[in-house]
Structure formats: structure tokens, C-alpha cells
Amino acid sequence: MTNGEIPGASSESVPHPQAVVVPDLPQVITDMIADLEDWARRCDKDAKHDARNFWSLKLPAIVISASSGLLAHFKFEVGLVAGIVASMCVLLDGLIRTGALRTIHVRAVFDLKTLKHEIEDKWRAGSLRGKNLNQLAATIVEYNSMERKKIATYIRDEETAFPHSSDGRPS
């Protein structure tokens, strides 16, 4: 035994198991995944837009309310005007409910990305099990359709539950 060798280890090379080859995704599934990614990007954009809208009236109301009390304390008349502006921001925010759909859009992004990974995993697992690739692709397409309908339904239900459009403007 020479320096650096592991006791009991053989110097002969150990044969490596054959690499498992998973066929590439068919075009129909690749297109489905691209559609899911595009939908997830749009939902993410909507969620960010909703977050900005959520704070668009709350933040000014908080800042103006805090400063109006201080201004009124020091006998500045602008304190009264600031209080009125803050009250209007709170009133409008309560009526319009801006940004109320943010959580539903974040949930959709998560569910769409999860669906994408499930589709890829179903393809890999089915391929490794030796399933008929056309049948496997058809099963995945049907699964995708069913899951997309579930996601679209809960988005629709939330967006139509409020008396305004998804961008926060009154309908």
C-alpha cells in the first residue's frame, strides 16, 4: 500500500452503471410548458401591479395622518388639510379595495410552476417505466387541461367576487 491509498479499496476501476436516457419532451408538451410559463409570468406581473395598487392609497394615508397630527399640534393650518387628504385616501381605499387580488395571483404563479414541474416529472417517470410515449403524452395533455381549468376557475371566482376589474378600477 502506498501513501494516499484507501485501505481495503481496490485499484481496479469499478464499472459504472449505464446512463439512463429519458427521451426529450414532445413538442406538444414543450408548447404546454411554454404556455404555463407565459401564464405564470402574466400572473406574477399582475401580482406586482396589485401590490403597488394595494399601497397606493394606504401609504399616503399613513404618512399624511402621522404628519397631520404633528402639524396640528404646532398650530399649522395645513395640518387640517392634511387630515382631510388622509381621510379621503382611507375612504377611497375602502371603497375601491385596490390590490385585493395580489394573493390570488401569487397563488396562481405557484400553482402554475408546480404544474410545470409535475408535467416534466410525469414525462420522466413514464418514460423510465417504458410506457408508450404517445399514450403518456396524451395522459399528460389531459392532466394539464384539468389542472389549468382548476387554476382558471379559482382566479375567475376571485376576480368576479369584487365589484371592480382586476386592476383595481371600479367597473
3-class SS shares of the chain: helix, strand, coil, % to 5 = 70, 0, 25
From 98, 96, 71, select the one nearest 84 (Cα to Cα): 71
Could you tell me the pTM of the whole model?
0.71
Position 169 confidence tier, pLDDT thresholds 50, 70, 90: very low
Structure confidence by residue, pLDDT tens digits, 127-147? 999 999 999 999 999 999 999
Task: Give residue-wise pLDDT tens across range 31-73.
Answer: 999 999 999 999 999 999 999 888 888 888 888 888 877 777 7
Whether the per-residue pLDDT at 164 is higher than 80: the answer is no
Spatial CB neighbours of 37, under 8 Å, sequence gap ≥ 6: 112, 116
Residue whose C-alpha is closest to residue 108's, from 70, 63, 150: 150
Domain locations in the chain as residue ranges: 27-160
